[in-house]
Structure 1
Amino acid sequence: MTNTNRPLTDHTKMAKNSKMLHIGVFPWLAFGHMIPYLELSKLIAQKGHKISFISTPRNIDRLPKLSPNLTPFLNFVKLPMPYVENLPENAEATTDVTYEQVKYLKLAQDGLEESMAKFLEDSDLDFILFDFTSYWVPSIASKFNIRSGHFSIYIAAFLGFTGPVPGLNNDYEIRTTPEEYTVPPKWVPFETTVAFKLFEVLRIFEATMKGEEENIADITRYYKSVENCDFLFVRSCSELEPEWLKVLGDIHRKPVLPVGQLPTTPYEDDSTKIDAWIEIKLWLDKREKGKVIYVAFGSEAKSSQNELIELSLGLELSGLSFLWVLRTKRGESDDELVQLPEGFEDRMKGRGIVCTSWAPQLKILSHDSVGGFLTHSGWSSVVEAIQYEKPLVLLTFSADQGINARLLEEKKIAYSIPRDDCDGSFTRDSVAKSLNLVLIEKEGEIYREKVKQMKSLFCDKERQDNYVDNLLCYLQNYKKTIP
């Protein structure tokens, strides 16, 4: 097992004297996965190694453009999207589909197995890094003597909580009820509050834990991925969650390497996006420093109608200025639009903006007027908030967000809006009080200070560079052992 707690060393000289690697990367068809995969790819390419970034045509076309110095090293490989019944036309990412249609997207990615095999056969890859959905990658890669690594964009706490592969070198009981996911598992040897709330489990239990007749459960995909890969890379750092990284190494009995937090790097926008930012910036420039709350829940989360009403009226009650990027539908086929309370936008004129189209998150977070970020606790958003020292208020929706929130709460890095543990309901009063606590009141000073302390841990360029050097050194040494 790799010791994840050892100090990182600079392997730059060793890398220069070693053969350059060719690494394939294959993320899940969600931008919350593709962007961290791209960030890691860019960091590896900057060191002169070759990357083949594999996805479907429309997804690749929607990714941020590369800087010219990276294009010789980072190649995009477009695998044609297979037809799957019930998957909307041109839907290639989770942002294009309703929650109920995500399973068809997974079946479509499974349908890439044959074209992936053809690509691997014709390539000169040394390694391939793959996401939890495409559990079938290791068996194909091994046929062509290509070693595979599962690269998880989920943090170590989430993977540790998910636990070992049932029955593989262990006798832990399989969790079969939602309630069993609301307490820390038996394989975690230390005191922790990291666990799901019941409402968080209930929202994902059927698809994630149980699966459906035509689709393999997410947890099964993950277990198969970890069982069959050669090593596990995690979007994490040993300074933040050393105990969880150790749990991972212990339960899976294979090398586990943190790759750093992979903060999103700014990129050049097209003219349409520049115009959108100019308008938002003019509005932010007129607001008081540190008194605007930025509200955004990622590219996938969509609140229920009742949640939207309480959130809206909570923002109104708070008295704070706000910039809200609101997602009213998921994909073109979503006909269940959520609507703001009647008269809300008129009442909030001059105090708040509701944006239902694209918004430049990094630029917004970098603005001095923004004093905090109300987010779903998706890890990329968390890292971006810390990057610009914006304290975090959390409102989870699905997937790994509950576990992320518990870890952040436990370490006093963020504050969660109080909710009913069973049904997830919250009130406008709790929204207003939470926002004022974190942005204004003395009681919330700990969150405003903690996020500043975390910046060097999450976003220090040299620290991130060392993690990538460590990863590359590991792969180069590993390659020497391959017959």
Structure 2
Amino acid sequence: MDVVKDEEKPLHIVMFPWLAFGHMIPYLELAKLIAQKGHQVSYVSTPRNIERLPKLPPNIAPLINFVKLPMPKVDNLPQNAEATTDIPYHVVQYLKNAFDKLEKPLTHFLQSSNVDWIFHDFAPFWLGPVASKLGIKCAFFSIFTAPLIGFMGPLSVLMGNDPGRTKPEDFIVTPPWVPFQTTVAYRYFEIMKIADILSNENPGGYSDIYRLCYCMHHCETILIRGCTKFEPEWFQVLQNIHNKPVVPVGQLPSMSIEYSNEDNTWSWIKEWLEKKPHSSVLYVAFGSEAKPSQEEVTNIALGLEESKVPFFWVLRVQRGPTDNEVLQLPEGFDERTKGHGVVCTDWVPQMKILGHVAIGGFLTHAGWTSVVEAVQNEKPLVLMTFLADQGINARVLEEKKMGYSVPRDERDGSFTSNSVAASIRLVMTEEDGRIYREKIKEMKDLFANTTLQDNYIDNLLNHLRSL
């Protein structure tokens, strides 16, 4: 662990992520890297979320203080629901209402603590003025990549003051502030799935766009998960459109992560994988947020069967106990694929699975943490997007030939089992897909190089001190 020099007082940084594991985990990874440099981190969330986070390495545990703010009660939010993974998609707006009620207890914590900086997510639009009053500096830490934040555009566009974007079709083309040729844009079906997020009219409270605008408007500096060597032109776009510092914090590759129930689960998975040839198994998982429709699950299942490729599929059949739409596998699927494939409906240690030599590819939603873990382990990607930033991530990966997207209908996003099977075979075994298998290996150093990551953290800390 690096020790802070005598003349430099250690910083005290508060981390305040949105209540989704795709956000909480990158915030925790950044907290660990900052603590390794000898600085104090207070990681703020609700009790159940903190209990579900991975254990800290003993060498940095004393420097990371978990602050549990009780989850506020709001109408329409089920009991014990503290993260997006606990509830169906349409209930997430009520989780945001509860999150906003954390303003008072968080303010109380900030008043009673000697804090230098607070790193916050896109959601707490109310935090900037609170921090400013207390003399605490704010950094908006985006777990979304530079291409996504760059594509979304300057604040004038986000706030709706610029007439450039008024309808979904405006999101499926390259915007005027991107000065280079690129395919990075949403597809029509992707933008229609998240139209509620993009609208400034939101009956349930404040839209995500409104939240993002105010978070970016009030912060001193913008921190982006990403690497200037991987996407230099997009970092340049961000510098051009935002009138404040934009600092990359690296890809935040997962340090060794351990969860409490890991050993029992991993032992049977490992035993199953050990029986499979090298690079023969497809790992299938869509993160903690995405839940495919019943029709999509049926076509994925039949596509896996048709591909004849062995598979390990982590399938979330419902989002939390109150989700009434429980996904079903096609009739007879289990019997027909017995010994050839596994469908697991529980939590699994993803990094360990991706690290196993039997895994030869990853069918993923293109959530960036999963992408980083795949690149760390040199596993080529078959892409199937569902929500949020995933469409933009998929275009970046397609452009760089690191992943291949399952062909889908542009209007409604539907796909066939044939296209699933053909995409899997292309990326895993066919000569035409060799480019994907090679590119992912080439990119590993940019994503997983510890010296490079360490330099990003040093630059970040120097930047925070300079302000």
Instruction: Give the TM-score normalised by the residue count of structure 1.
Output: 0.94
SS across alignment from 2:199: helix
Q: Does 1:216 align with 2:206?
A: yes
- Taking the aligned partners of 1:477 and 1:193, their CA distance within structure 2 comes to 37
Aligned residues between the structures: 466
Q: Does 1:245 align with 2:227?
A: no
Counterpart of 2:143? Answer: 153
Which amino acid counterpart does residue 419 of structure 2 have in structure 1? S
Counterpart of 2:58? Answer: 68
Counterparts in 2 of 1:261 and 1:168: CA distance versus 1, 3 Å: closer
- Taking the aligned partners of 2:423 and 2:158, their CA distance within structure 1 comes to 44
CA contact 1:14–1:473 (8 Å) conserved in 2: no
Counterpart of 2:398? Answer: 409
Counterparts in 2 of 1:63 and 1:169: CA distance versus 1, 3 Å: closer
Counterpart of 1:422? Answer: 411
CA contact 1:15–1:473 (8 Å) conserved in 2: no
SS across alignment from 2:311: strand
- 307, 318, 334: which is aligned to 1:318? 307
Which amino acid counterpart does residue 288 of structure 1 have in structure 2? P
Q: Which has the higher contact order (CA 8 A, sep 6+)?
A: 1
SS across alignment from 2:62: coil
The CA deviation at 1:171 is 7.2
Gap regions ≥5 residues in structure 2? none
The CA deviation at 1:170 is 11
- Taking the aligned partners of 2:4 and 2:323, their CA distance within structure 1 comes to 52
- Taking the aligned partners of 1:150 and 1:274, their CA distance within structure 2 comes to 36
Q: Does 1:22 align with 2:12?
A: yes
- Taking the aligned partners of 2:96 and 2:259, their CA distance within structure 1 comes to 30
Counterpart of 1:7? Answer: none
The CA deviation at 1:20 is 1.0
Which amino acid counterpart does residue 185 of structure 1 have in structure 2? P
The CA deviation at 1:273 is 2.3
Counterpart of 1:116? Answer: 106
Counterpart of 1:391? Answer: 380
Within-5 A mapping of 1:373-388: 373-388=362-377
- Taking the aligned partners of 1:269 and 1:54, their CA distance within structure 2 comes to 19
- Taking the aligned partners of 1:15 and 1:223, their CA distance within structure 2 comes to 37
SS across alignment from 1:53: strand
Q: Does 1:82 align with 2:72?
A: yes
Counterpart of 2:163? Answer: 173
Counterpart of 1:330? Answer: 319
The CA deviation at 1:210 is 3.7
CA contact 2:154–2:241 (8 Å) conserved in 1: yes
The CA deviation at 1:387 is 0.5
Q: 1:208-250: CA deviations, max 9, x gaps?
A: 3344223211111111111111100000110011111111111
Q: CA RMSD in A?
A: 1.6
Q: 1:295-349: CA deviations, max 9, x gaps?
A: 0000121111111111000000001000000011001100111100000010000
Counterparts in 2 of 1:262 and 1:211: CA distance versus 1, 3 Å: farther
- Taking the aligned partners of 2:147 and 2:447, their CA distance within structure 1 comes to 16
Within-5 A mapping of 1:248-263: 248-263=238-253
Counterpart of 1:141? Answer: 131
Q: Does 1:34 align with 2:51?
A: no
- Taking the aligned partners of 2:321 and 2:158, their CA distance within structure 1 comes to 42
The CA deviation at 1:135 is 1.6
The CA deviation at 1:438 is 0.5
- Taking the aligned partners of 1:285 and 1:426, their CA distance within structure 2 comes to 32
Q: Does 1:93 align with 2:78?
A: no
Counterpart of 1:5? Answer: none
- 343, 346, 366: which is aligned to 1:354? 343
Q: 1:92-140: CA deviations, max 9, x gaps?
A: 0000011000000111110001111111111100000000011211110
Q: 1:384-435: CA deviations, max 9, x gaps?
A: 0000000011000010000000011111111111111110011111111100
| Farther-moved stretch of structure 1 (114-123 vs 347-356) | 114-123
Instruction: Give the TM-score normalised by the residue count of structure 2.
Output: 0.97
Counterparts in 2 of 1:433 and 1:153: CA distance versus 1, 3 Å: same
Which amino acid counterpart does residue 413 of structure 1 have in structure 2? M
SS across alignment from 1:166: helix
- Taking the aligned partners of 1:227 and 1:173, their CA distance within structure 2 comes to 19
- Taking the aligned partners of 1:90 and 1:261, their CA distance within structure 2 comes to 32
Counterpart of 1:444? Answer: 433
- Taking the aligned partners of 1:462 and 1:260, their CA distance within structure 2 comes to 11
- Taking the aligned partners of 1:88 and 1:133, their CA distance within structure 2 comes to 20
- Taking the aligned partners of 1:186 and 1:326, their CA distance within structure 2 comes to 40
The CA deviation at 1:65 is 1.1
- Taking the aligned partners of 1:355 and 1:413, their CA distance within structure 2 comes to 26
- Taking the aligned partners of 2:148 and 2:197, their CA distance within structure 1 comes to 17
Counterparts in 2 of 1:13 and 1:108: CA distance versus 1, 3 Å: closer
Which amino acid counterpart does residue 264 of structure 1 have in structure 2? S
Which amino acid counterpart does residue 110 of structure 1 have in structure 2? D
Q: Sequence identity, in percent?
A: 55
Which amino acid counterpart does residue 423 of structure 2 have in structure 1? S
The CA deviation at 1:69 is 1.3
Counterpart of 1:481? Answer: none
